Chain A
Amino acid sequence: MSNPKTHHAPMRTPLGRVRGLGSARSGTDHFFLQRVTGAANFVLAVLFVGIVISIAGSSYEAARATLSNPLVAVVILLALLSVTTHMRIGMQVIIEDYVHDEGMKVLCIVANTFFTVAVGLAGAFAVLKISLGG
């Protein structure tokens, strides 16, 4: 098992290696993606609140006219991408913290992925249909 090029002791314990847990060299990605999407969400949410206020209370036609504006549509599409990614990894952390049964944990994480992708794609489809399809 030992790599001839590296003679230092591995950081992972034998048990950790057998279970497939421990460092997968991807721990920082998760943290960093949460910060990157968080920063993007901040800017996009400010714009989104402005869009919602401008549409609130208006008619079906007026709402669609605003939503089909390219700038508005692009802001909402970016927000959906960034927000649902942030939602997915944020909820995954919550699941990992509170769901201790291994099978249930995997089930919850998969359901979380399905939910966030479905919400993001449904929202994106709606915006594109209003903008392009009528």
Chain B
Amino acid sequence: MADSPSRIERPLSPHLSIYRPLFTMVMSIVHRITGGALYVGTAILVWWLLAAATSPGAYDLFSAVAGSWIGRLILLGYTWALIHHALGGVRHFIWDFIHGFGAKERVLLAKATLAGSVALTVIVWVIALALKG
């Protein structure tokens, strides 16, 4: 069979390195990053379940790690990522029903997602710490 001709170099459409970062664009990237972080976070939660299913020693080890300052920082980050990704998902649902595409609405939805994620994270942790210390 004859050699196939070499691939034609076609022009690429403008990509991330071309555009000035926009708020909505950064929020879209953050949605993907939080999704990736939660992918790992689920494994941590399953470690917790497995520890509870294994032995008191295994559970104590998990509790010690989760209760340390770095453990709490990771759990705080997980909480924020979970809420941000959930609210980002709601934003996608709104778009799926062909709403919220206007210039002002897009920015408003992005701001609401960001502000909502921070506010709800604080609320969840205040409740958890008030109940459990």
Contact = CB atoms under 8 A, between A and B. Distances in A.
Interface of A: 35, 38-39, 41-42, 45, 49, 53, 56-57, 60, 63-64, 67, 76, 80, 83-84, 87, 90-91, 94, 119, 122-123, 125-127, 129-130
Given A42-B90, A60-B52, A53 B132 contact: yes
Nearest to B67: A57
Looking at chain B's contact residues, the main secondary structure is: helix
A31 to B, nearest CB: 9
B133 to A, nearest CB: 7
A40 to B, nearest CB: 11
B132 A87 contact: no
Contacts of A60: 52, 56, 59-60
15 contacts: A35-B92, A35-B93, A42-B90, A45-B86, A57-B133, A63-B59, A64-B52, A80-B46, A91-B35, A122-B46, A122-B50, A123-B50, A126-B50, A126-B53, A130-B49
A44 B44 CA distance: 17
Nearest to A53: B128
B49 A127 contact: yes
Given A56-B128, A94-B36, A127-B49, A119 B42 contact: yes
A15 B39 CA distance: 36
A130 B132 contact: no
A130 B55 CA distance: 11
A41 B39 contact: no
Closest CB pairs A-B (n = 8): A126-B53, A126-B49, A123-B46, A57-B132, A60-B56, A60-B59, A129-B53, A126-B50
A84 B82 CA distance: 14
Nearest to B87: A42
A90 B39 contact: yes
Nearest to A48: B45
Contacts of B49: 67, 76, 122-123, 126-127, 130
B26 interface: no
B122 to A, nearest CB: 14
Given A39-B93, A41-B86, A57-B132, A123 B45 contact: yes
Contact of A126 (B46, B60, B133): B46
